[in-house]
Amino acid sequence: MLRGGALKRSSCGGLDKLIILRGGELKRYVDPNFTKIEMIDRTSSAGSLINNIKIPAALLFGQSLGAAFAKLDAKDGSLPPKSIELAYRILTFLALFSELVALFSATILNWRILAGGFDTTARSAPALLMKYFDYEYLSMIVSFLGGMISLVLANALRTLVHFGAEHKISLFLVGINLFLGAYFVHLFDCTVISFDNGLVGLLPHLAMRTMDVLVPMFTRLSFWLYVIISGATIYTVRELMLYHAAVEKQHAAKKR
């Protein structure tokens, strides 16, 4: 819950007009002479905030989907070690799933805001979302950041493989990717939302809230119906693929 409106200066040099949530308390970094944050209806600005993450998340989702199934090879056509390719696939699929979670969380947030039934006045859009929908809001922004960082790291690996580890341009471009990832984390920590100790403090809070949401899921009939239907579908498709492969091998053996 949000409890305050304490005025403090930002420690992230120059970023002194943005809102940061630390330890669940609202602290607005504004001019020291500013003594009051107006409580007004924030539904419109909350919707704009959600869309400002939802649209880039959709673009990153598309890029991650393409990168996840793209061929990973060097300029001369040679393939990288299996460990490098495995790391690349893990990062791209992690980016894909993270952006999908961000998109779904943003959609849920929009639905819940439009449904109403709560006090829409707050000191800011983040304050409104944190007060009533903290899990969805934190899931959205953390997943968005996680997907972006995963994609940056995957791009660093792809650059290293494409140009070769022995070329200076490759190391230079990889360094830019790594610096960009660190910059994203720093900017996120300073401007979007932060808890005490930054992400180190935020992630345990989000993990506990996730457990609060996941545990009841196992008591729902809809969840077990989904598990049974999806499991049966995957098993059936797998068996058909194995059967088809066996038939193809038999035909190939007969032709010989």
Q: How far apart are CA 223 and CA 229, in angstroms?
A: 10
pLDDT for the residue numbered 206: 85
| Residue 83 CA: distances (Å) to CA of 36, 68, 77, 96, 173 | 56, 15, 18, 20, 21
pLDDT tens string 145-158: 999 999 999 999 98
Taking only the tens place, the pLDDT of each residue in 221-252 is 999 999 999 999 999 999 999 999 888 888 88
The 10s digit of each residue's pLDDT in 174-202 is: 889 899 888 888 888 776 655 666 677 78
- Please tell me the distance from the alpha carbon of residue 163 to that of residue 170, in angstroms, as a whole number: 6
Nearest-CA neighbor of 208 among 139, 115, 140?
139
Q: Are 101 and 57 in contact (CB under 8 A)?
A: no
Domain ranges of the chain: 42-217, 220-256
What residues are paired with 41 via a beta bridge?
121
If you compute the radius of gyration of the chain from its CA atoms, what whole number of angstroms results? Answer: 23
pLDDT in tens, 81-122: 888 899 999 999 999 999 999 999 999 999 988 888 888 888
Q: Residue 134: is its pLDDT beyond 60? A: yes
Q: How far apart are CA 124 and CA 67, in angstroms?
A: 37
pLDDT of residue 7: 32
Q: What is the pLDDT of residue 39?
A: 79
CA dist 96 and 205 (Å) reads 23
Say if residues 5 and 123 touch (Cβ distance below 8 Å). Answer: yes
Residue 29 confidence class, pLDDT cut points 50, 70, 90? very low
Tokens of 33: 């002479």
What is the CA 230 to chain-centroid distance, rounded?
A: 25
Provide CB contacts within 8 A for 188, sequence distance 6+. Answer: 141, 145, 199
Q: Smallest Cα–Cα separation from 96: which of 67, 61, 70?
A: 61
pLDDT for the residue numbered 44: 86
Query: Over 70: is that where the pLDDT of 26 sits?
Result: no
